[in-house]
């Protein structure tokens, strides 16, 4: 069985590999670490929004992630871009920011229970 770190690295690589991002920049270990940081921050934001809800957290977060990813509202995109802006250099952000937002939202539409649990474990460390 894979460790949480390995699972989240696979998830980050999957997101970075979905778009037509240059592999020399976005296939590197540093970019995978950056994507892991963004994903963990996304889960923490969702946890903060749902902290008073007493329902099964994994199911609630999975539904919330899918709903936000399918709707693709301006607020969701703004929050994602803010998290991405913190991690990227300004030139990379200007060039690839929207592609990364789309890649994250595309993955969010198809997120599985196991991936949500992996993200929760990584966020609660």
The domain total for the chain is 1
pTM for this entry:
0.79
pLDDT digit string, tens, across residues 61-83: 888 889 989 999 999 999 999 98
Could you tell me the residue range of the domain that residue 63 belongs to? 4-123
Cα distance between residue 109 and residue 106, in whole Å? 5
Residue whose C-alpha is closest to residue 14's, from 30, 25, 26: 26
Q: Is 105 left (phi over 0), alpha (psi -120 to 50) or beta?
A: alpha
Instruction: Dump pLDDT digits (tens) for 20-42.
Output: 666 666 666 777 788 888 888 88
């Amino acid at each position: 069985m894979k460790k949480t770190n390995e699972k989240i690295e696979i998830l980050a690589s999957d997101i970075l590999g979905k778009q037509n991002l240059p592999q020399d920049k976005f296939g590197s270990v540093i970019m995978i670490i950056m994507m892991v940081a963004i994903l963990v921050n996304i889960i923490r934001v969702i946890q903060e929004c749902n902290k008073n809800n007493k329902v099964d957290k994994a199911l609630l977060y999975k539904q919330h992630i899918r709903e936000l990813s399918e709707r693709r509202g301006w607020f969701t995109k703004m929050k994602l871009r803010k998290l991405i802006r913190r991690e990227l250099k300004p030139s990379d952000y200007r060039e690839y920011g929207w592609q990364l937002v789309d890649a994250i939202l595309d993955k969010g539409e198809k997120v599985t229970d196991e991936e949500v649990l992996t993200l929760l474990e990584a966020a609660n460390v």
